[in-house]
Every structure is written in C-alpha cells, then in structure tokens.
Chain A
Amino acid sequence: MNRNRDTSLPQTLPEELIEEILLRLPVKSILHFKCVCKSWFSLISNPRFVKSHFDVAAAPTHRLLTFGKGHEVNSIDIDAALDDDSGKVVFNTPIPSRTLKYGGRICIVGSCRGLIFLKSNINFVIWNPSTGFHKRIHYNELMYPQLCGFGYDSSTDDYVVVVVTLPHERTAMVDCFSTRTNSWSASEGTIPYYYCDHHEFRYGEFLNGALHWLVRSYDHLHVIIAFDARERTLSEIPVPRDLATAFEYEIYPLKVIGGCLCFCFMNYRTTMLEMWMMKEYKVHSSWTKSFLLPIRHDSFVSIFYPLCFTKNGEILGTDGGKVLAKFNHKGQLLEHSTHDCKDRFVLEPCRMYRESLLSLPEEDFFHFHVVIQGRSPLQHILQLCGQKSNTLKPTRSLFIREEEVRLGDRERINTMSKSRNLLDRLDIDLEKIHLPVFAAQQNLCLMKNRSINSEIHARTLWEKIESLYVSKCGNNKLFLLNYIVSLKFKERTSLLDHLNEFQGIIDQMSGMGIKFEDEILGLLLLNSLPDSWETFKVSITNSTPNGVVSLQMVKGSVLNKEMRRKAQGGEVRKRKEKRVEVNPSLDTRMWSVTTVTKQGIYRSIVSCGKRRTKAKRASQKRRMMIVSLLLQ
C-alpha cells in the first residue's frame, strides 16, 4: 500500500518537517526559497523561525564586508577562493545618499548576529545585508572622537549601540541605546582612559555579551575595556606585560578571531607579526602567542593584519591597503587578491559577519503612556478586534499626550524638547510597529502595573489589556448595544466574516449577562444587513409563521441568498458595479430599497432622485424601531 502511494505522486511533508529541513539550510538558500510558495514565504518570514534558524546554526556562513564605490559594499564568502567572484556579492548600504554628498563616509562599526552597525557622520544605521532590513538611530551629540560599538543582550533579547566618550583627564562617559526601549541612557565610568592613536581602534569588538576596545590607561599602558551589554557597566581586562608596553611596535586594533580576543602587532625587532590570543575569556594566564608571520619588506605583503579564520583554519587578513591574503598556520601564503576600492584602505572598514535572517525585535512601546483621545479603550479594542487581523496596527487616531510620555525605569525624559523629539519618533514608528498601545486617561496606573510591564510580546500584552478592560461595567454594555445596532454588513465583503463578528459581539454581551431572545437576535441580524437587502428583509419577515423570526432561520436564508447571488453569476453584479463606477457617491441601492417595499423594484430606480431624503428617513425609522424594541 505504501509503495503505491510513492509511485503515483510525490509525497508531501507536513509543515513542521519542512520547517525542520529549512532550519538546516544556509541563509542564502532560505531567501531564495521564499518564492517556492506562499506557505513557505510566511514560514520563512516568521520571527520565531528566524530566531531558531540562528540558534540551531546548522549551516552558519561567515562573510567579510569591504567597501566598494559610493554606497556599495562587497560581501565576500571567506571560505571561497579569493579570486572566485561567484562568492562575492555587492550590496547597497541603506545610508541616504545626501550624507555622502557632503563628504561623509560610511564606516562599518560592528556586527552582531548578522546585523551590521553602520555609521556615517551622525547617521547610525543597523542593517541586515541579507534581508535588507534596516533601522536608523538618532544620536545628536556626536563629539569627535569617540569609541562606539554594537552588541546584544541575550537576557532581554535587546540590541545595544554604545558610544563611549573619553574626555581628557576625566572619567569615561557611556551612552547606550537600547533597541527595545528605543532610547538612550547615560552612565559614567570610574577611571579616565585615553584613545589609541588611530581611529580604527574606536570600533568595539563584541564577544561574550560585552563590547571591547583597546585603549590606553591613565599610566599610558595598553588595556582592554569591556562594556557589559547586560549590566551596562565598564570593566577592565588587562593584557600581558609585553603587550601593555608594546609602544615601539605597530599595534593593530583588537579583533575577535576564532571566538577569542586577539591582539596583533608588528614586532620590528624580530620583523615578525605576532598574534596573541586570549584563549579563555577573562583568564589572564590564557594569553598565548599563537601565530607568527615573518614579514619581509621586499615582498608584497609588507603588512599583514589578521581578520578571521576560515573553515579550514587558514588566516584571512589584509595588508591595510587593497590586498586580501590567506595564510596557513605555518605562515605560508596561500592566495591573495587585490580589491578595487577607490581611495580607501581596506583595513578600516573590513568587518566579518555571520549571515542571519534576524531583524531587530519589536520595541516595547508599553514603556510609554499613550492616551486615546475621546474614546474608551474598550471601544478601541473592539474596533481593532473587528478588523480581526493578527497584525494589530495602532490606528492613526492614537493620540499621545506629551506630558504623559515617560520612559521606563532606565531613564526619564525631563526636558520638553526631548520629549518632543521622542514624539516625532513615535509618530513615525507607530505606523510600522504591530504593537497595540493603550492606556486610558483615567487609568494611568496601568503601565505601572507590574503584570503588564513584564510582558514582552504584543499578543500577551494585548490579552492582558483586554482582560483589564472588557469588564462588566454599564458603560461597556451600552457601548456594545450601540455597536451591535449600528453594525452593518458591507457589500462585497465576506458574509461569513460578518456573521462571525455579529456572533462575537453577542457572545461578549452574554458574557456580561445580557441575554436576548431568539427573535430579537434574528431581528438584529436583519437590521445589520445593508439597505440593498431590503426586499430580502421584507420577504423574510412576511414569510415567517406568526411574524416571529428566529436567528437560525435568518442566518440560513441570508447564507442561501448570498449563495444564489454568487451563483447568478457575474452579469448582474457587473452591471451594478458599473453603475457605481459612473457616480460613486450615489447610493443607488438604498433608493431601490425604499420603493421596493412600497411600489416595486423597477420604478423605484427610475424615480429615485426625488426620494432620496425620504428613503433615508425610512431606513432610519426602521432602525429606530428595532432599537426601541430592544430597550423595552
């Protein structure tokens, strides 16, 4: 039996197995397979999938970013041969071109989990070259020069941008941007440090949850400072004595190579490049000299700055100019290539990254008090429920009162100008984010409520807020009543959706203790049909025994009628649509309706013009009647 199934059709696999297979593919293949079919697309776009793809790391791929012309960056597969152009991809950086026009240059500051942190003048951009995702960060007080870096706090799934200022003979100042709260916070170190001379030293290396820079201490020795992304504190990692005092050598910026902090310098006395690795993190005795490369000034590689290990254990590096070269661990040159990058040194912007599909996590907008103008939260929730989408987009009608904007625990914004900035930013982001933000004017304590503050996901937050607001108070009952009476089915939308929405409100009301008789429910449903269904309504009400309708009966005939309408085919509907096209403001159906109830269909359409006001009144009356019925 099993065999027969095989030969006839290819076996299809359930989605969870497809997911397991896709999780084991490299980023490039996954992106390519987005266009296999729609269900694959939505699976691949799912943030949960993206995250587990990164965590499973069944096929991690590493690439090297170097600069090309203008906006362009070249991404090189470090495991491919250097002269193999098929491993090279050109991306456009998402830096606005106008900043480049005024002599700005793009720097690749750091990379973390597949996201690249780019800087050009005051533009900070976090960018995933594989997916094209990018986000700009505002930072106004950029003084020159500063240390900066990009890291990740795994405990809160938060990416941080860190700017460290080392004022002369004063303690270090740290500004830290959290993508979760979308805000900067400031802290201060305890000891002053000095910058190393070249500005390549200013880009931090991320390892073990901390960003690292090589700086000079107060007594002018080399020292590594580490900023812990979770604790948000600066600490010091000493380097071996030989390295701390290696002033007569040419020192290269700190690198993370093979998962270890690496310190490289050119020893002029021995004409050797020395690479020291801290094999165990923060274990001083684990610093070892692990790679030596004799440098001859007559050879083309007169300088060699190691960048990373390839899969086969070779060392890829650059000469600080335009040459990329690969050496094996014995110091033999394996291959090299020259890169065409106009008036730039390769050394400065070279940055290795691991490909990923990750984007930044959603922002925690519940850190802000947001007030909805003139409407109760319940009304808003219901309106959004009515739209019944998974991506609950806050509508533009969300109004944020300035004085209510406060940041969470980490920072408070005091000055008005700052909060104005924040508002502008919020306004832009509100359209993009899929996080419902609610706080009632009368319920400002809501956000202080611990149970809500600890929620991270939009959906759980949503449910919490819903349970807080969908209470049994009289105002809510009145609102629901009003809602169900004014509920209208819209032409050319799904009738089933409409029925579901209707049932949803009824259920909600019965949850509050309001029960309707079956007849009233039937009448309410009839009432929710648009005026173009007037004939139908009349025929239903007339055909019932004793003039009593039931919900079941109405539902049945509504669905029947819809089926028939569909079955009648396109011609009738086409004609109707045409009429609407001629004069979209004209509600022809409504007119035909009133006349139908009194005189018949065809004549009414001809003579509709004069009857407009009358028709409206009639339908309103009908509605009023049902309302009064309800209130009895």
Chain B
Amino acid sequence: MAEETESTKTEPLKTAEEEFKKLEITEEEESELKLETSDHVTFMVEASIAMKFGAVQQYLEVSPAASASATAIPLHNVASRELILILEYYRMHDWVDAGERDLKEFDERFLKDLNYEELKELLLAANYLNVEKLFNFLTKSIANIIRNKDVEFVRTFFGIDNDYTPEEEAAYREENAWAGVKFV
C-alpha cells in the first residue's frame, strides 16, 4: 500500500522531471536510486532528492557502486511511513516551484496531520537520514508545541520520569518562579 501512495505522488512530478531531463541530457543516467526502509519496502527515488539525505550520501561515498547497480540502499532506522512523509516534504520544498505562502500552508497542513508520536518518529528518522531542512523544521515545531506548556505536559510528551523528590522540585520551581508565571 505504501508503494501505491508513493507512485501516485510521483505522477505529476515525473513530467516535471522529464522536462528537466530535456534541458540537461547529460545527467540522464543518475536519475533514480533504490532505497530500502526498515520494513523492507523499496522506493525508487529521484537521485536529486535522495542525494539531499546525508545518510544516502554517506552510503554512496563508502560504496560508490550502489548508485549504478540495482542494489537497494538500506535505511535501517526509517520506516516506509516516515520516508513517504519526508519525500513529500522535500518534493514540496525543493522541486515544485512553490511560493512562500504555499509552503507555509503546506507546512501547517503537514504538521496538522501528525500526532505527537508521529512527530517524534519523524524527527528520529530525519535525524538518522541527516536531512537538515526537515530536521530544523521539526525541532522548531516541537519547540513551539511545548514552549508555553507546563512541566507535566513536557514529561508526558517526551515520556520522561520525574526523578526529583517533591522538595527538590519545589525548590527549583521557586528559584525560577518568574519563568513560570505565565504557565498554567
């Protein structure tokens, strides 16, 4: 099913790619790379996008043969679900000639569709793939989610156990009381 959504998403872009190819005939060969996710789904990804991933770059540096051969580049820590999202994000930001407003709208929609757990999974995947733009976008978004929340919310958000004694916690709260004024 994952592959289906992938192929439908690529459809309009394929034409753009072909146009691009007409302009630069020399780069014909390195058009697609094979990526394999942790749940063993194989993606054919345009090289120009795949090369934006630090992890893919690194892999190709170590074994340059992979770009030419049909062997898939394994992405051990990324599930297909996340890779689809990441590709979607990068298509929007790097391929389509989108205006600033479109991008902002897209970002908002993109965030809306994710729950907190998915957001964290995606951040882990982005970190593993070493994709800077998305990584910055996600960390910033998570920071925005927690910035005006109270400590309890943050603990549940990140799954952190409180290892303070109540006295210690009270003391620290007292110390930075001014910072907590606005929080409810």
Residues of A in contact with B (beta carbons under 8 Å apart): 1-2, 6, 9-13, 17-18, 20-29, 31-38, 40-41, 58-59, 86, 89-91, 130, 132
- Output the least CB separation between A21 and chain B (Å): 5
Given contacts A2-B38, A2-B79, A21-B143, contact A35 B183 (CB under 8 A): no
Docked pose: A20 CA to B178 CA in angstroms: 24
- Cβ of B172 and Cβ of A34 under 8 Å apart? yes
- Is B39 a contact partner of A86 (Cβ separation < 8 A)? no
Residue of A nearest to B183 (CB): A32
- In the assembled complex, the CB of A39 is this many whole angstroms from the nearest CB of chain B, namely 8
Complex CA–CA separation, A494 to B179 (angstroms): 39
Q: Which residues of B contact A20 (CB under 8 A)?
A: 135, 139
Please give me the residue from chain A that is nearest to B169 by CB atom: A35
CA of A262 to CA of B183, assembled, Å: 37
* Measured CA separation A89–B178 after assembly (Å): 7
B164 near A37 with CB under 8 A, answer yes
Compute how far the CA of A158 lies from the CA of B21 in the bound complex, rounded to whole angstroms: 55
A1 to B77, CA, bound (A): 12
Residue contact A9 to B140, C-beta cutoff 8 Å: no
| Cross-chain contact A32 with B146 (CB below 8 angstroms) | no
Asked whether A12 lies within 8 Å of B160 as measured between CB atoms, the reply is: yes
Does the CB pair B151–A33 fall under 8 Å?
A: yes
Contact with B181, one of A1, A34, A59, A89 (Cβ below 8 angstroms): A89
**In the assembled complex, which residues on chain B have CB atoms less than 8 Å from the CB atom of A2?**
38-39, 79, 81, 121
Chain A residues contacting B127 (CB-CB under 8 Å) are: 17
Q: A34-B172, A59-B143 are in contact. Are A11 and B151 (CB under 8 A)?
A: no
Interchain residue pairs A-B with the least CB separation, the first 8: A10-B159, A24-B143, A31-B179, A35-B172, A31-B176, A2-B79, A32-B179, A12-B159
Q: Which among B147, B155, B180 is the interface contact of A25 at CB below 8 angstroms?
A: B147
Chain B, residue nearest A132 (CB): B175
Number of A-B contacts (CB under 8 A): 104
Chain B, residues 35-73, CB within 8 Å of chain A (1/0): the string is 000110000000000000000000000000000000000
Contact A86 B173 (CB under 8 A): no
Contact B163 A38 (CB under 8 A): yes
Contact A25 B181 (CB under 8 A): no
The residue that B176 contacts in the complex, of A24, A32, A40, with Cβ under 8 A, is A32
Give the distance to chain B from A409, nearest Cβ to Cβ, in Å. 40
A22–B148 CA distance with the chains assembled, in angstroms: 13
Contact B121 A6 (CB under 8 A): yes
Known contacts A2-B79, A89-B178; 14 further A-B pairs (Cβ under 8 A) = A2-B38, A9-B159, A10-B117, A11-B159, A13-B120, A17-B127, A21-B139, A29-B148, A32-B183, A34-B176, A35-B172, A35-B173, A58-B143, A130-B179
Task: Report if A21-B142 is in contact (Cβ < 8 Å); known contacts: A10-B159, A12-B160, A33-B154.
Answer: yes
Chain A residues within an 8 Å CB radius of B156: 10
Query: Given the complex, which residues of B lie within 8 Å of A40, measured CB to CB?
Result: 160
The complex places the Cα of A10 from the Cα of B181 at a distance, in Å, of: 28
Find the A residue at minimum CB distance from B123. A17
Question: CB-nearest residue of chain B relative to A28?
Answer: B179
A100 to chain B, nearest CB (A): 22
Q: In the complex the two chains form, is A17's CB within 8 Å of B124's CB?
A: yes
Q: Which of B123, B143, B151, B155 has the most CB of A within 10 A?
A: B143
Q: Is residue B31 within 8 Å, beta carbon to beta carbon, of the partner chain?
A: no
CA distance A444 to B158 in the complex (A): 53
Give the distance to chain A from B82, nearest Cβ to Cβ, in Å.
8
Question: 17 A-B Cβ contacts within 8 A?
Answer: A2-B121, A11-B121, A11-B124, A13-B124, A13-B158, A17-B139, A20-B139, A21-B142, A24-B139, A28-B179, A28-B182, A34-B172, A34-B176, A35-B169, A36-B151, A36-B158, A89-B178
- Are B117 and A6 closer than 8 Å at their CB atoms? yes
Q: Which B residues are in CB contact (< 8 Å) with A36?
A: 151, 154-155, 158, 160, 162
Q: How far is the CB of B138 from chain A (nearest CB, A)?
A: 9
**Per-position binary interface string of chain B over residues 11-47, scored 1 when its CB falls under 8 Å from any chain A CB and 0 otherwise:** 0000000000000000000000000001100000000
Residue pair A35, B164 in contact (C-beta under 8 Å):
yes
Q: Residue among B158, B159, B162, B163 with the most chain A CB within 10 A? A: B158
When the two chains form their complex, are residues A38 and B120 in contact, meaning their CB atoms are under 8 A apart?
no
Q: Chain A residues near B143: list those with CB within 8 A.
A: 21-22, 24-25, 58-59
- Rounded to whole angstroms, the CA-CA distance of A23 and B143 in the bound complex is 9
Q: Which of the residues A11, A34, A59 comes within 8 Å of B117, measured between beta carbons? A: A11
Contacts of A24 in B (CB 8 A): 139-140, 143
